[in-house]
A and B are shown apart, each in its own frame.
Chain A
Amino acid sequence: DIVMTQSPDSLAVSLGERATINCKSSQSLLYSSNNKNYLAWYQQKPGQPPKLLIYWASTRESGVPDRFSGSGSGTDFTLTISSLQAEDVAVYYCQQYYNIPPITFGQGTRLEIK
């Protein structure tokens, strides 16, 4: 199974500042035949189901604000929120869909306002 490890487990960022969440996979998520990284990011607010933010490591889902961006390749990935808003307080998860089953998620990163 591919193990997904996020860092940090939690972070506090001031409003308007940049937030960066990292995700590392135990094996490469880059599929050489199409040059795509099989990595997605989700946001989960309290009492709500997760919401898809990013897939193919850097493709923003329709309707997601452009302050959210994804980067990285192979085994190391980053979700960046360029200017933190109050509504971004949530837990963020990365997920691999390269080698399934099973589909695996990171443990989550809790983002709060400093």
Chain B
Amino acid sequence: QVQLVESGGGVVQPGGSLRVSCAASGLTFSSYGMHWVRQAPGKGLEWVAFIRYDGSNKEHADSVKGRFTISRDNSKNTLYLQMNSLRVEDTAVYYCVKELYDVLTGPQEIFDYWGQGTLVTVSS
């Protein structure tokens, strides 16, 4: 079965950096687009970033553009999110998410598997 396991969360000061990772298993990782979605404590869901299955295309939300970078290593079945210049408002659980491949329409930004998430706390 598909498993997505995030790691690397923790407490960091404003302005600091952190890299979170997501180890994938139970799927052909190199065949799927992947996303990061975050959820601030007690709040709703916010899409953060996307990377195409082969890493050739990336998109980031405006709220993190220029500060966060999504990447992947298909040889290691691992997804990453490098977070720089962290702000208090970046405090959230960060979920690694796989997108669905629809047999008729191809890859779609439908999130069929989610990791358990890793908590990033930005605080002085």
A108 interface hit (Cβ, 8 Å): yes
Is chain B's binding surface mostly helix, strand, loop or mixed? Answer: strand
Docked CA distance A50–B115 (Å): 9
B109 touches A97 (CB 8 A): yes
* Chain B CB within 8 A of A90 CB: no
Q: How many of B's residues come within 8 Å of A, CB to CB? A: 22
- Encoded as 1 (CB less than 8 Å from any B CB) or 0, chain A from 63 to 103 comes to 00000000000000000000000000000010101001111
Interface residues on A, range: 20 to 34
| Contact, CB under 8 Å: A49 / B47 | no
A-B contact count (CB 8 A): 58
Which residues of B from 106 to 122 have beta carbons under 8 Å from A?
Answer: 108-112, 114-117
A104 within 8 A of B: yes
Whether, in the assembled complex, B27 has its beta carbon less than 8 Å from a beta carbon of chain A, the answer is no
Could you say which residues of chain B place their CB within 8 Å of the CB of A55? 100, 108, 110
Asked if residues A102 and B61 are in contact (CB atoms below 8 Å), the reply is yes
Which residues of B line the A interface, CB within 8 A? 35, 44-47, 50, 59-62, 95, 100, 105, 108-112, 114-117
